[in-house]
Amino acid sequence: MSTSDLGCAKGIPQSSKTSLAQAKAFSWRWLAASLCCGCLLALLGDRYRWSKLLSRSHERPLQRLLCNHPFPIPTELSVADPSVLAVLERQLQGRASDERIDSLSVAIVTSSGSLFEWNHGVVKANETSPGQQGKTDRNTIYRLISLSKLITTVQTWILSDRGLLSWTDEVSKYIHELDNDDNRPMTIQEVASHLAGIPSNMPPGPMPGWPYSLEGAGEPPDNGLPFPTRESLLQAINSHSLTVPPGSYPVYSNTGFSILGMVNVAADGGSENHDALVQRDIFGPLGMSSSGYHISQLGKSKVAIPSNAPHEADWDFLDAMNPSGGCFSTLADLIKLMQGLLSQDPNHRLLSGHSMRSWMRPLYPWYDDVTEQGILWEIRKYRNTWGQTQRLYEKYGQSEGYHTALSINPSLNYGVIVLSTGSYFDTLNLTMEVIQTVQPSFDLFVQATMRHLYEGRWLSTDPDGKGSEIVLSIAGGSMWAEKVVLNGSDILRLVQRKNKTERVPVWSTGRPEEFRFAFGLPSENDQSGHGCLLYSFGMDIGYAKGAPINQMTFSGDDADRTLFVPSVGDKLRRA
């Protein structure tokens, strides 16, 4: 019931209505004041009185640390276990025996290229003569359907990196024909995350037989209408109410990504259309020579044709809908795109590091505690070998005959690509089979790398005889400091104020080989409801010699490897 509904409720006297409104206003003011005071007290107590919280450590025993930080993102998964890949290949062969699959192309990709590629089936499944069908390979061209939205979103990030638009800009700044009354204050970010409330498929079909028939439902051309022009699409949006108010919850919108493509072209100001823009900024620089929006320019002989829907290869989405579903590409080209997104090298990455970090995060958590919505991404939570929650950032494309998927795990910096034709729709299941088969071996590879680089006893001795010692261990998918002695001072005892100290997690800062001891707020760590929050509050606790007192960095290789603690200016070597 809304506020206006309360004021008009049947049977409530006018005086009661007034009292109710006053009470409601007072309660909200009281609640807001209480929350503000509570937050202020929490910050004062938990953040700025860190030293006083330390002194309370004796009141209860230090509990088991629950906020285990994952390993830092590896720059490269350079190897894959051959036995695991052999298992994966057998699984894919079994899957591809399904008569509903005409063709199937799969790749596992890191920043350096593909660790695994597999292709199966025929290119022209609509042909009856085997001699005319051809064999699928990495250069077979697939219609991407909704995976086209990935290209459009990457273009928006490129323009954002160049300062030509901001994700918080209102769409009406770039598309003046779009109504922008008080009910439609939608931002670019809301459009790209399906949070703008734009109806899914504009213009809608007439549905003359409803409620006895679904004829006319769905998207053009399935709803009986042709793919829209810019003018007809904008007119349809302006003629219909938003599905939900902007910012409410995600409503998947093909139309919204058509709008995003228009925003990109307007913000750039120098390109004739979406096709020309992405050719200049994405396909050209990455060498994606078999990607585009017009089958006549790509070479129809290489285009995969599904047996059950051959007409879909000839669809012309027009410039208005190309950003949403009109792109063609190949496994080879999408590997190049994935490399550009995963690269940590500033000279080779497609987007800035800040943009990639901003992009790889959820915006809206769904109610199932499994799926979330991001900018473009359909996000799925995944448990790694040690039970830590990771997120798979995914985009899928589905039509009657084409089925595509691209998934990125930023925690391990690898991705999976799946392209197929036929009547088998479940590319999600295919993608998850690939991930579940190979990720455990990736987890173990990263763990072994972490042990090689960091685990062990690190020692130094200064001229005064006050030595430093740090003991690091790798366990449960995290790095831990078992002992920290700096210039003769036991830091864990100093911080925890206990004779019997406990190890503390070591968190990566995200910079190469830079870490911080995550002391948290020792008297409060892991109490009910706190989780990781207190470790965030206690991450930046003090400085000495101009450096954080809980910081350490590593450098060098093998026998020359050193651990440096800048707050005491001490270099340690592994024993």
398 with 461, same domain: the answer is no
What is the per-residue pLDDT across 527-554, written as a single tens digit (0 to 9) for each?
A: 667 788 888 988 999 999 999 999 999 9
What value does the mean pLDDT take over residues 119-124?
98
Sorting pLDDT into bands at 50, 70 and 90, what band is 423? very high
Of 60, 135, 158, give the one whose Cα is nearest residue 356: 158
Q: Which of 58-72, 135-149, 471-485, 489-503 has the lowest mean pLDDT?
A: 58-72
What value does the mean pLDDT take over residues 349-360?
96
357 with 261, same domain: the answer is yes
| pLDDT for the residue numbered 21 | 39
Q: Is the pLDDT of residue 567 over 50?
A: yes
| pLDDT for the residue numbered 34 | 40
- Residues in a beta bridge with 292: 328
Q: Is the pLDDT of residue 352 over 50?
A: yes
Tell me how crowded residue 202 is: count the other CB atoms within 10 A of its CB.
Answer: 27
427 with 472, same domain: the answer is no
Given 397, 427, 446, the domain boundary residue is 446
Q: Is the pLDDT of residue 47 over 80?
A: no
Between residues 351 and 64, the one the model is more confident about: 351
Round to whole Å and give the CA distance between 337 and 404.
15
Given 382, 411, 446, the domain boundary residue is 446
Sorting pLDDT into bands at 50, 70 and 90, what band is 397? very high
Q: Which of 52-61, 131-140, 199-208, 422-431 has the lowest mean pLDDT?
A: 52-61
The SS3 of residue 484 is strand
Sorting pLDDT into bands at 50, 70 and 90, what band is 48? very low
For residue 249, tell me if it sits in a domain.
yes
- The domain that holds 526 is classified in CATH as 2.40.128
414 with 472, same domain: the answer is no
What is the per-residue pLDDT across 251-267, written as a single tens digit (0 to 9) for each?
A: 999 999 999 999 999 99
116 with 161, same domain: the answer is yes
Number of structural domains found in the chain: 2
Round to whole Å and give the CA distance between 40 and 28.
18
Q: Is the pLDDT of residue 464 over 80?
A: no
What value does the mean pLDDT take over residues 439-452?
94
Please give the backbone phi and psi of residue 540, each rounded to the nearest 5 degrees, phi first.
-120, 90
- The domain that holds 376 is classified in CATH as 3.40.710.10
Sorting pLDDT into bands at 50, 70 and 90, what band is 525? confident
The SS3 of residue 460 is strand
For residue 17, tell me if it sits in a domain.
no
Q: Is the pLDDT of residue 485 over 50?
A: yes
What is the pLDDT of the chain when averaged over all its residues? 88
For residue 14, tell me if it sits in a domain.
no
| pLDDT for the residue numbered 4 | 37
418 with 489, same domain: the answer is no
Given 397, 428, 446, the domain boundary residue is 446
Q: Is the pLDDT of residue 15 over 90?
A: no
What pTM, to 2 d.p., does this model score?
0.87
- Residue 283's domain spans which residues? 82-198+242-446
Of 491, 550, 546, give the one whose Cα is nearest residue 517: 550
What value does the mean pLDDT take over residues 458-480?
89
Sorting pLDDT into bands at 50, 70 and 90, what band is 213? very high
| pLDDT for the residue numbered 522 | 82
465 with 485, same domain: the answer is yes
Sorting pLDDT into bands at 50, 70 and 90, what band is 75? low
439 with 463, same domain: the answer is no
What is the per-residue pLDDT across 283-322, written as a single tens digit (0 to 9) for each?
A: 999 999 999 999 989 988 999 999 999 999 999 999 999 9
Round to whole Å and give the CA distance between 101 and 308.
10
Cα 456 to Cα 21, 65, 468, 516, 566: the distances in Å are 65, 21, 14, 17, 20
Q: Find the helix packing angle between 254-268 and 148-161, rounded to 10°.
A: 30
In the numeric block, which tokens belong to residue 82?
Answer: 């051959």
